[in-house]
Amino acid sequence: MKRKFSSIDVVLVISIMLFGLIVLGQYSTGKSMEKDHGHIDGPPHNYWIPTEEDIAYQDSMWIIIKQTQYEVDTIKESIDQIIIRLEDLD
């Protein structure tokens, strides 16, 4: 007797297999799924704290970016004016 599998049966079997693989993978790495209660929640303790030199460098990069953006906008306006003049010549 042949049994027909519906799409729900197939999805159920695949999801059970996927869940089993995830659990198996979790335990095979040796890491516990329980939360470590000895760890304080919050940002990691090795995050980057910028120095005065870092802040000055970032500020100078910001100034360069803003100046470049202004220059590109100026060039775009000039190109638009040239295009308008060329269209008027036609």
Quick one: how far is CA 85 from the chain centroid? 44
* Rounded-to-integer distance, Cα 51 and Cα 66, Å: 23
Q: Over the stretch 39-66, which tens digit does the pLDDT of each residue have?
A: 566 666 677 888 999 999 999 999 999 9
Say if CB 9 and CB 16 are below 8 A apart.
Answer: no
Quick one: how far is CA 2 from the chain centroid? 49
Give the model's confidence band at 15: pLDDT under 50 very low, under 70 low, under 90 confident, else very high.
very high
State the average pLDDT over residues 18-22: 90
Half-sphere exposure of residue 7, counting CA atoms within 13 Å on the CB side?
A: 0
State the average pLDDT over residues 72-90: 93
Predicted TM-score (pTM) of this structure: 0.43
Give the model's confidence band at 71: pLDDT under 50 very low, under 70 low, under 90 confident, else very high.
very high
- The DSSP secondary-structure symbol of 30 reads T
Say if CB 60 and CB 52 are below 8 A apart.
Answer: no
- Kindly list the domain boundaries of the chain, sorted by start residue: 7-30+50-89
